[in-house]
Amino acid sequence: MFEIKKPTVYLAFGILCLLPVGLLFSSDVWFDEAYTLSLIKNSYEDMSAILAADMHPPLYYFALKFFCSYCGYSVLATKVFSYLGFIATLALGPFAVMPNYGRKTAFIYMLAVGAVPMLYYFGVQQRAYSWCIFFVTLCYIYAAEFIKERRQYRAVIFSVAGLAAAYCHTYALLAVAIIFIFTNIYIFYIRSRHGIPNILLADLLMLAGYLPQLFTLWGQFSSAKQNFWLQGIEPLSLVVLAAGIGFAVWVLWDKARRRSSFIFPLTVILGLQAVGLLVSVFVRPLYIARYSVVVLGVFALTLARIVRLSEGTFRKWACLALVCLNIVGLSGTCLLEYDGSQRAAMAEFKEAAADKQVVCLDSSFGIISHYFPNKRILVTYNQPWFSAFKNVESIEKEDLARYVGDGPALLVKNRAKALPDYLTEDFNAKIIDTFKADFNSFEVYLITGKE
């Protein structure tokens, strides 16, 4: 592998930062993004109440609202905020990985960040994931360095980073908890004279900082056991776990790598998935593969270290493969972001819905609410956090005929679900359009009352 110097690392950082810029200008949204866009238009007090009724900690949404108060409440502004989280994750390469692992590892790490499946996608999505990846990775890096040197400032950094991650996403909290548990076990196991006081300081900072959110988290968990939308174990989560196990076997196949510096990240990567799936099996389904993205930075760094330690020919081919995966990942994300069917459908929907009532049977209401903020949207189910959407009204299914009357009205539903019996019994439904949003397809129906 050619010699990697500091300017090369910084040049790679700049180039990789520029690659996702073209993804920022898509105006398409899916339900979770529509939720974010609606939520941040509420006051901080109302946001707190809505988030407490949902499964989300407040830090990302509060920070995004503050950012948008200066940059505007637009799709572009919210994408830019997530993009900054992606840049921060890349920036760990020259500013955290390089000082601790060397220039070559930092260079490969940055290639791996873009090569990780779907990371460009999460890098511009209007959700907390890009910032979760950054904070969890930062927490892991400084926890690993604390294990090696046990200096107090490293304990402070990884505890503060862990606290930020915990306030961004519940599964980032789980990842951080695993990092803390592993670090504590290691320090107490070796009985380090300097390490024990400093790890206790980190523990205290984390516990004291998260205490205000702890009771809210318990209430959210109790509510999720009854109301969470997931109905079964997601097959993709099992595929991702199998891939993680395969990666762990590959890493530990070499006896030279069977040491704590590699066991640590693998424990974080697999531990998050294992706990999520165990809860889903024995309590109720609460975990999907998407939640594992919070440890993608840890995965990228571990992969970079493996490639760096490999023989020269393998390193060259691995780096070339990472470059190719960056191109493939970016191209695939572009195709997803700029599908075009959503914009075309919404333009037709605007004309069709001008004098009609709009009914949504599922999460499609978030998308319609975003595009038509002044139109009343009827939804046939209810959750406490629906209050984030100011123009959404929940109704009972048996009252649908009273609200819609003889019609005509427009109805939107996920294509994967059939029209319910209560609707087909009382109405005639004719499909007039379809569109895509993220990985879901939706259908638009014209409904009229039966004579």
**Digit-coded pLDDT (tens) for 15-26:** 999 999 999 999
CB neighbour list of residue 170: distance below 8 Å, 6 or more residues apart: 55, 56, 57, 217, 220
Residue 173 CA from chain centroid, whole number? 13
Give pLDDT, residue 298: 98
pLDDT over threshold 90, residue 181: yes
CA distance 376 to 358: 7
Half-sphere exposure of 175 (CA within 13 A, CB side): 38
CA distance 260 to 263: 5
CB neighbour list of residue 285: distance below 8 Å, 6 or more residues apart: 228, 230, 231, 232, 233, 234
Per-residue pLDDT averaged across 438-449, rounded?
91
Are 90 and 132 within 8 A, CB to CB?
no
Q: Which of 47-56, 140-149, 322-331, 395-404 has the lowest mean pLDDT?
A: 395-404
Answer left, alpha or beta for residue 72, where phi above 0 means left and psi between -120 and 50 means alpha.
left
Are 442 and 435 within 8 A, CB to CB?
yes
CA distance 283 to 405: 42
CA distance 225 to 218: 11
385: part of which helix (H) or strand (E)? Answer: none
Are 393 and 60 within 8 A, CB to CB?
no
Banded pLDDT at 434 (limits 50, 70, 90)? very high
Give pLDDT, residue 393: 93
Per-residue pLDDT averaged across 356-368, rounded?
92
pLDDT over threshold 80, residue 186: yes
Sign of the CA dihedral with 325 first, then 243, 300, and 278 last: positive
**Digit-coded pLDDT (tens) for 270-316:** 999 999 999 999 999 999 999 999 999 999 999 999 999 987 789 99
Banded pLDDT at 264 (limits 50, 70, 90)? very high
Q: Which of 38-52, 239-253, 436-450 has the lowest mean pLDDT?
A: 436-450
Q: Which domains does the chain have, with CATH numbers?
A: 6-223+298-337 (no CATH), 341-449 (3.40.1380)
Give pLDDT, residue 182: 97
pLDDT over threshold 70, residue 451: no
In the block, tokens 């908890």 appear at 177
Rg (CA), the chain: 24
Per-residue pLDDT averaged across 85-95, rounded?
98
Banded pLDDT at 222 (limits 50, 70, 90)? confident
Banded pLDDT at 2 (limits 50, 70, 90)? low
Residue 447 CA from chain centroid, whole number? 36
The secondary structure of 301-312 as a DSSP string is HHHHHHHHHS-H
Token reading at 429: 């439904």
**Digit-coded pLDDT (tens) for 391-430:** 999 998 888 888 887 678 999 999 998 898 888 888 889 9
CA distance 247 to 76: 36
Rounded percentage of the chain residues whose pLDDT exceeds 70: 99
Half-sphere exposure of 408 (CA within 13 A, CB side): 14
Give pLDDT, residue 12: 94
Token reading at 372: 């038509």
Are 58 and 45 within 8 A, CB to CB?
no
**Digit-coded pLDDT (tens) for 131-155:** 999 999 999 999 999 999 999 999 9
Token reading at 349: 């929907």
CA distance 153 to 160: 11
Number of other residues whose CB lies within 10 A of the CB of residue 22 = 14
CA distance 436 to 415: 10
What is Dmax (Cα atoms) for the chain? Answer: 84
Residue 283 has φ and ψ, to the nearest 5°, of -115, -70
149: helix, strand or coil: helix
Mean pLDDT of the chain: 93
Number of other residues whose CB lies within 10 A of the CB of residue 397 = 12
End-to-end CA distance of the chain: 76
DSSP state of 29: -
Give pLDDT, residue 403: 83
Rounded percentage of the chain residues whose pLDDT exceeds 90: 77
Question: Which pTM does this prediction carry?
Answer: 0.95
